A and B are shown apart, each in its own frame.
Chain A
Amino acid sequence: MNDFGIAFQLLGIGMTTVFIILSLVVVIGNLIIRVVNRLVLEEKGTVKGRETSESLIDKKKLSAIMAAVNIATNGKATVVDITKAN
């Protein structure tokens, strides 16, 4: 095959491959989001059950604490648990 033939082949194969890979990015991304969303829903269901019996911290206070932690640690830390000292 001459050099132009190789160039044509690379144009076709190269662009197709890039499109396929970025389509995979879209498919994989969507798939992960859906799976994680479903898991989060299940987790929230169990947490809600506990909330009714224990009366947790006020939602506004919770989001303020989480935002403060996020800013102070540059997003590297997450709030896992909040307990009252006294």
Chain B
Amino acid sequence: MEILKKLIEMTAFQELWDDPGALLMLAIAAVLLYLGIKKKYEPLLLIPIAFGMVLANLPGGGMGVVPATNIELGEHHYMNLFEIAHEYGIMNYLYYALIKTGFLPPIIFMGVGALTDFGPMLRNLRLSFFGAAAQIGIFVVLFSAIAVGFTPKEAASLGIIGGADGPTAIYTTIILAPHLLGPIAIAAYSYMALVPVIIPLVTKLLCSEKELKINMREQDKKYPPKFKIKDLNTVKIIFPIVLGVVIAFFVPSSVPLLGMLLFGNLIKEVGVTVARLSDAATGPILNASTIFLGLTVGATMTSELFLDMKTIMIIVGGFIAFAISIAGGIFSVKGYNLIAKKKINPLIGATGLSAVPMASRVANEIALKYDSGNHVLQYCMASNISGVIGSAVAAGVLISFLG
């Protein structure tokens, strides 16, 4: 009998009996794996996150990330990385070295910067304002989240989902509410994956057919820009340098994200001389960072942390933040159209989120549905890229005030 008892203790069955919530977590991970693999919803991140979740919830595996209180030795003194690895295993080592230090989101931003082309934004600079209006969801949901019982730090982390920027949401949450990292990352990336559903839904509710038929090229012909860019390559090299320095003076807390984004963009624009650097930033570095980010964020989702009323509120609140941000962009365009001669298609406001380039592609498809000759992709990219800057600045403000 004693041997049998020891045998059961040796296997994972006893732990599964003690923590049946792990089974539910494995089921949720299976759904996320299905969405990532079969439905191809943000597969690059959903698959590592879901698998990290599987690893964390395998009973006895010791791959779940433990709360920071477990590694705290005293007042502001923590275990070193070797001790963490020895005590809690490799996943905690990776989490505390790469995520808790805030290392990976800026590195991912560098890769994103190296993949981003500021050209469409520079050609349509005035459309950048709509990237600002589309950040309204972040702050409105922050307010509502406090009303339902979240602390200001938690509410800010929830609101930032409305910026539609995964690395920004993760970076803000690491600093303000690390215990909510799992559900916030899942909500952020799930809604980014659902951009093709959410943007058409909000647009259909708020825009008339006449508005969606506004042809941007015809407007450009009617009211041509005051001046043309004669050397876009040079402008694209100078722009990230000057912008990075100026933003650093106004919102220094956004520098880790925006600074790396602009550095990544600079090495892309410099071209052949530093091609090796931009290749590394967009290839091995970005890919390795994505793997580690996904797995470690997934590993924070253990049953005791995830199966909570707050998780459901985050999922609901994230959707509302996302929808309000899209609506904010649309209403700002509508307001602009009331006073301006040169009309703008409201879809350009809807893409003020930073889900680049998916939001722009979706908006372009909607515009083409109403008028097969109305290609708005380049215009949408302008507000879309400015949305990346806008959400990073919003994150910087939240971190400055609450961090």
**Chain A residues in the interface with B (C-beta under 8 A):** 3-4, 6-11, 13-15, 17-26, 28-30, 32-34, 36-37, 39-41, 73, 75-78
**Once the chains bind, are B146 and A3 in contact (CB under 8 Å)?**
yes
**Once the chains bind, are A34 and B227 in contact (CB under 8 Å)?**
yes
Q: What 0/1 pattern do residues 146 to 163 of B give for CB contact below 8 A with A?
A: 110001100110000000
In the bound complex, residues from chain B placing their C-beta under 8 Å from that of A6 are 146, 152, 401-402
Contact of B203 with A by CB under 8 A: no
Contact of B339 with A by CB under 8 A: no
Pairs across A and B, CB under 8 Å, 25 listed: A4-B147, A6-B402, A7-B139, A10-B152, A14-B138, A14-B398, A15-B136, A18-B135, A19-B132, A20-B250, A21-B250, A21-B251, A21-B389, A22-B129, A22-B131, A23-B129, A25-B128, A28-B243, A32-B242, A33-B122, A33-B229, A37-B229, A40-B231, A75-B271, A78-B271
| Distance of B123 from chain A, by nearest CB (Å) | 9
In the bound complex, residues from chain A placing their C-beta under 8 Å from that of B250 are 17, 20-21, 24
Contact of B121 among A3, A4, A29, A75 (CB under 8 A): A29
**Once the chains bind, are B389 and A22 in contact (CB under 8 Å)?**
yes
**Once the chains bind, are A21 and B390 in contact (CB under 8 Å)?**
yes
Interface residues of B in 216-248 (CB under 8 A from A): 227-231, 233-235, 238-239, 242-243, 246-247
**Once the chains bind, are B143 and A4 in contact (CB under 8 Å)?**
yes
Contact of B90 with A by CB under 8 A: no
In the bound complex, residues from chain B placing their C-beta under 8 Å from that of A73 are 272
Contact of B316 with A by CB under 8 A: no
In the bound complex, residues from chain A placing their C-beta under 8 Å from that of B275 are 76
In the docked arrangement, what's the CA distance between A28 and B397, Å?
21
Contact of B135 among A13, A15, A28 (CB under 8 A): A15
Contact of B140 with A by CB under 8 A: yes
**Once the chains bind, are A36 and B234 in contact (CB under 8 Å)?**
yes
Q: Given A28-B246, A32-B238, A34-B227, A14 and B135 touching (CB < 8 A)?
A: yes
In the bound complex, residues from chain A placing their C-beta under 8 Å from that of B393 are 17-18, 21-22
**Once the chains bind, are A13 and B152 in contact (CB under 8 Å)?**
no
In the docked arrangement, what's the CA distance between A36 and B236, Å?
10
| A-B contacts, CB under 8 A, total | 132
**Chain B residues in the interface with A (C-beta under 8 A):** 121-122, 125-126, 128-129, 131-132, 135-136, 138-140, 142-143, 146-147, 151-152, 155-156, 227-231, 233-235, 238-239, 242-243, 246-247, 250-251, 271-272, 275, 386, 389-390, 393-394, 397-398, 401-402
Q: Given A3-B152, A6-B401, A41-B230, A28 and B242 touching (CB < 8 A)?
A: yes
In the docked arrangement, what's the CA distance between A44 and B271, Å?
23
| Distance of A58 from chain B, by nearest CB (Å) | 21
